[in-house]
Structure 1
Amino acid sequence: MNNQHDQSYKLLFSEPRTVRDLLTGFVREAWVKQLDLDSLEKVSSTFVTDDLRDREDDVIWRVRFGDEWLYVYLLIEFQSTVDAFMALRIMTYVGLLYQDLVKQKKLTQSGKLPPVLPIVLYNGGKRWNAARNVSELVQPVPGGLEQYRPDLPYLLLDEGAIVASEQWPKETRNVVSAIFRLEYHRSHQDAIELIGLLVQWLQAPEQTRLRRHFALWIKRVLLPSWVPDDEEAEWQALNDLNEVHNMLAERAKQWPEHWKQEGRQEGEEKARLETARNLIRDTSLTDEAIASATGLDVEQVTELRTELRH
């Protein structure tokens, strides 16, 4: 994922409505009902140390849990591959957060550390199969030494698995569910209808900023692959989610031919690349000769040759 995607996605989870829907829709545990969701506060970046502040894609919130605070550490993972040692990273980040809480004297009334809910939000294509507790990463040993292994699980939200499952919210007014479904939309029309639902759900004045964040995210994530190049500047000028939806509903009627042409061009490009690979494997032709025969750039052929050597 590019940095623009990362930042616009982070903005979505920097709004209380999104975090509220994340907790109520995807943390299926009884204690969630005891949270005072009206007390949600985003932890300021000035609150944490440089070590945590460098975690630019992570978002930290706190919410009242009875008379105490519960901290929600949301790690947004924009990687195409699964991190086998994610549980270790989580243990490190939670430890850093606790160090900050101690320094700031943000302890419970009894002088203990407040509870922290670590959540990993993953949107890669491959299903997540890494350890979900750091204890699983430590080699078990006999003789009682295993009791000293660290034990810290995290809550995994694998977007692709969630969208494919029947157990998670779909038609409910849950903006996080809508985000996941937009990322894995089955058709352009499905996505446009989802955006229309978001417009309905976020009409209240206090949701103005979240509507803008959605408009920004849609422009950066969905539209680049939808919109013809000669219309891109017009779309980037839009900042209102309702305007984005209305224009999408209208323009999408004109775009199928553009999408077909894009698909044809993509298919032709794949065919040229495959032909070049075959020529590299089966002949002694130079990169220049293969480029001339396939219509590719010489640099593309050189990169393919390098890839095939590994």
Structure 2
Amino acid sequence: MPEDRVHHEHDVGYKYIFSHKETFLELLRSFVKKDWVDLIKSEDLILIDKSYILEDFSEEESDIVYKVNIKGQEVIFYILLEFQSSVDYRMPMRLLFYIVEIWREILKNTSRDDRRRKNFKLPAVVLMVLYNGKNRWTAYRNFRDVLSGSELFGEDIIDFRYILFDIYRYDEKQLESMANMVSTVFLLDKEISKEDLMKRLRLTAYVLKKITPEQFDILKIWLKSIMKPRLDDKSKVKVEEILEKSSQGEVDSMVSNLGKTIDNIIREGRKEGERVGLLQGLEKLLGIKFSDTSYMSRIERIEDENTLNSVFEDAVKSNSIEEFKEKLKQRKLN
């Protein structure tokens, strides 16, 4: 699957997950160790149905915006979903554009009289970046660090700092011990083999039983988005069917059936790998021994594993290409 399409599916998947208020709040409570987190209630969060992504970056990122009232003060949470394979060092500048865009819209929708009042204030904007690239995030976190000469002017220049969720840097044991929806998503999202994916899914099965029914439905949809790029068309249909039919009370059965499907894929992959290796070895043998590989196109059509092994053995034992062709004829492969 093309890399940009995989990134798009991740954007859509994460946007769906964190557009669920309880799950967004779980993200804050699990990974942001700030006193203000305890002041937020899920019922006070309002999801803003608008994106502030600029056209220049529309193919690279997605965003989620929440509004909340904390102690009578309006606050905006702006979450940028960053799923490029490399770190973008322009991040502080990009975030500045989004802050300004948010405030500009608020001013546009505020009456002229209200804007001119001494006590009028713009809402605080808390910036967050969710990043799942394998490369360590090395872009500046503070805006002042991208300004030339910032060290000369101290507090006299504009500055802000964004919160970073660097998924690949979270310790697996830490994620396992958290045992919630968000930690499970982060644990399963890392680029790992099919075998490891199933190990982690089995390990987190008990989490799937205890999350809310709404979170369970969201997680099933997200699981489709991360599993499908790893599967062939036939397996995609099977996995989708398993996930769609499974209820939260059937988690063990769901995980077991997914495991069987993945195990079958792995076995088929190994068989195909062995077959390819055998055919390559046979072609090399015929070329070196007889300088004649003209029968390979017919041999490649052999589907039975035992027959293919027997043909390889025939090639080893034959003293001439004529003798080998005669053996193929006896096997009705000529």
TM-score by length of 1: 0.71
What is the CA distance between 1:126 and its match in structure 2? 0.6
Could you list the per-position Cα deviations for residues 39-62 of structure 1 after superposition, in whole angstroms to 9, with x for gaps in the alignment?
1110122xx67859x867100011
Tell me if the contact between 2:82 and 2:132 (Cα under 8 Å) persists in the aligned partners. yes
Tell me if the contact between 1:199 and 1:241 (Cα under 8 Å) persists in the aligned partners. no
The structure 1 segments of at least 4 consecutive aligned residues displaced by more than 6 Å after TM superposition are 106-109, 266-269
Q: How does 1:5-20 map to 2 (within 5 A)?
A: 5-20=10-25
Which letter maps to 1:113?
L
Give the corresponding residue for 2:200: 190
Which letter maps to 2:269?
E
Distance in 1 (alpha carbons) for counterparts of 2:118 and 2:253:
51
Distance in 2 (alpha carbons) for counterparts of 1:109 and 1:28:
34
Relative to 1, partners in 2 of residues 1:153 and 1:3: Cα closer, same or farther, differing over 3 Å? same
Distance in 2 (alpha carbons) for counterparts of 1:214 and 1:157:
19
Tell me if the contact between 2:62 and 2:80 (Cα under 8 Å) persists in the aligned partners. yes
Does residue 160 of structure 1 match 2:168?
yes
Q: 1:91 aligns with which of 69, 93, 96?
A: 96
Distance in 2 (alpha carbons) for counterparts of 1:31 and 1:65:
9
Tell me if the contact between 1:138 and 1:149 (Cα under 8 Å) persists in the aligned partners. no
2:182 counterpart SS class: helix
Q: 1:235 aligns with which of 232, 239, 252?
A: 239
Tell me if the contact between 1:140 and 1:146 (Cα under 8 Å) persists in the aligned partners. no
Could you list the per-position Cα deviations for residues 46-95 of structure 1 after superposition, in whole angstroms to 9, with x for gaps in the alignment?
xx67859x867100011221112211100000111000111111111111
Distance in 2 (alpha carbons) for counterparts of 1:84 and 1:176:
27
What is the CA distance between 1:247 and its match in structure 2? 3.0
Give the corresponding residue for 2:133: 124
Distance in 1 (alpha carbons) for counterparts of 2:177 and 2:118:
41
Give the corresponding residue for 1:199: 209
Q: 1:22 aligns with which of 4, 24, 27?
A: 27
Could you list the per-position Cα deviations for residues 139-179 of structure 1 after superposition, in whole angstroms to 9, with x for gaps in the alignment?
2267x556543211101110011235x6x554335322111
| Structure 1 residue ranges without an equivalent (≥5) | 270-310
Tell me if the contact between 1:35 and 1:66 (Cα under 8 Å) persists in the aligned partners. no
2:93 counterpart SS class: helix
Distance in 1 (alpha carbons) for counterparts of 2:89 and 2:185:
25
Q: 2:182 aligns with which of 176, 181, 206?
A: 176
Q: 1:259 aligns with which of 266, 273, 283?
A: 266
Distance in 2 (alpha carbons) for counterparts of 1:88 and 1:200:
41
Which letter maps to 1:116?
V
Tell me if the contact between 1:77 and 1:121 (Cα under 8 Å) persists in the aligned partners. yes
Tell me if the contact between 1:133 and 1:152 (Cα under 8 Å) persists in the aligned partners. yes
Larger deviation, residues 99-108 vs 26-35: 99-108
Distance in 2 (alpha carbons) for counterparts of 1:215 and 1:174:
15
Q: How does 1:56-135 map to 2 (within 5 A)?
A: 57-105=62-110, 110-135=119-144
Tell me if the contact between 1:214 and 1:241 (Cα under 8 Å) persists in the aligned partners. no
Which letter maps to 2:237?
A
What is the CA distance between 1:267 and its match in structure 2? 10
TM-score by length of 2: 0.67
1:28 counterpart SS class: coil
Relative to 1, partners in 2 of residues 1:117 and 1:170: Cα closer, same or farther, differing over 3 Å? farther
- When the two structures are aligned, how many residues end up with a matched partner? 260
Distance in 1 (alpha carbons) for counterparts of 2:65 and 2:125:
10
Which letter maps to 1:163?
D
Q: 1:246 aligns with which of 247, 253, 276?
A: 253
Which letter maps to 2:218?
H
Distance in 2 (alpha carbons) for counterparts of 1:63 and 1:97:
15
2:76 counterpart SS class: strand
Give the corresponding residue for 2:39: 34
Structure showing greater radius of gyration is: 2
Distance in 2 (alpha carbons) for counterparts of 1:50 and 1:81:
19
Tell me if the contact between 2:208 and 2:251 (Cα under 8 Å) persists in the aligned partners. no
1:70 counterpart SS class: strand
Q: How does 1:260-299 map to 2 (within 5 A)?
A: 260-262=267-269
Could you list the per-position Cα deviations for residues 105-128 of structure 1 after superposition, in whole angstroms to 9, with x for gaps in the alignment?
398993111111100000001110
